[in-house]
Amino acid sequence: MNLSSLEKTIGYKFNNKDLLKEALTHRSYLNENASWSLPHNERLEFLGDAVLELTVTEELYHRLPDRSEGILTPIRAALVNYQALLEIADEIKLEKHLLLSKGEAKGGDRSKEAILANATESVIGAIYLDSDYATTKKFINQFIMARLDNVMRGESYRDPKSLLQEKIQSSQRLTPTYKVLEENGPEHHKVFKVAVYFNRKKIAAGEGHSKQEAETEAAKKALEDLSESK
């Protein structure tokens, strides 16, 4: 298992290679490889999620001193949500390094996306354990906080659900409704798929690690579709 290319991409060389291997080990891999000596990555994912949120919160607190908590919260969500984690996974070419069962490796895009988003947090947790907070912050600044300008410029942090409701109530006098279509993944980090409807007509769907996040993604896609149809 050659990890040097991934280490080069993320700009960090592990002292304990087993931590990175663990971060890349999906639960399904253990079912087919009983001799694999390392655990799956869900504990590292749990840790990475907390480190990521703390780091981004601290950075936003210092970088945006004139913004209220009510504004900082959705900005943070835009930086660390499910879709953002997928973008990071794609940027660092994480998929080709993951250890999956044969079934998961051949699985659909939706299942693989959830695995990739979770593994991104696992890598963050592994870096934190192998080094320190400052080093982990360097990684997060490079790959996540680097997106702050785009988030601010496009105002993507504004609540899409509220924006969509304003537009639809104004133009069609309807209130958008949301319905959970699917739930996948482990209990501690499920992935929800939610659709938004206008008067029982399905308009768009989104995914996220919570129903709220999935609803937000669905509303965002609906807004994009409305903008393109003009």
| pLDDT tens digits, 204-226 | 999 988 898 899 999 989 988 88
Q: Tell me if 4 is assigned to some domain.
A: no
Indicate the length of the chain as a whole number. Answer: 230
- Domain of residue 47: give its range: 14-154
Q: Which of 138, 154, 170 is the last residue of a domain?
A: 154
Give the pLDDT score at 230.
58
> Three-class SS of residue 202?
strand
Give the pLDDT score at 203.
94
What is the CB neighbour count within 10 angstroms for residue 150? 11
Give the pLDDT score at 186.
77
Give the pLDDT score at 33.
92
What is the CB neighbour count within 10 angstroms for residue 228? 7
Active-site amino acid positions: 49, 121
Q: Which of 113, 129, 154 is the last residue of a domain?
A: 154
61 and 166 in a single domain? The answer is no
Across residues 148-176, what is the average pLDDT?
Answer: 84
Q: Which of 135, 154, 173 is the last residue of a domain?
A: 154
Q: How far apart are CA 207 and CA 118, in angstroms?
A: 13
- In this predicted structure, the answer to whether residue 10 has a pLDDT above a threshold of 90 is yes
Q: Tens digit of pLDDT for each residue in 106-156?
A: 766 666 888 999 999 999 999 999 999 999 999 999 999 999 998 888 666
Q: Measure the N-to-C terminal CA separation of the chain; round to a whole number of Å.
A: 50
User: Which position has the higher pLDDT, 188 or 12?
Assistant: 12
Q: Tell me if 171 is assigned to some domain.
A: yes
Looking up tokens 């509220």 gives: 162
Give the pLDDT score at 156.
64
Query: Bridge-partner residues for 184, per DSSP?
Result: 191
Give the pLDDT score at 155.
64
Q: In CATH, what number is assigned to the domain containing residue 196?
A: 3.30.160.20
Looking up tokens 């002292």 gives: 15
Q: Tell me if 213 is assigned to some domain.
A: yes
174 and 136 in a single domain? The answer is no
Query: Bridge-partner residues for 195, per DSSP?
Result: 179, 205
**CA dihedral sign of residues 195, 196, 200, 202:** negative
Give the pLDDT score at 169.
87
Mean pLDDT, the chain, rounded, equals 91
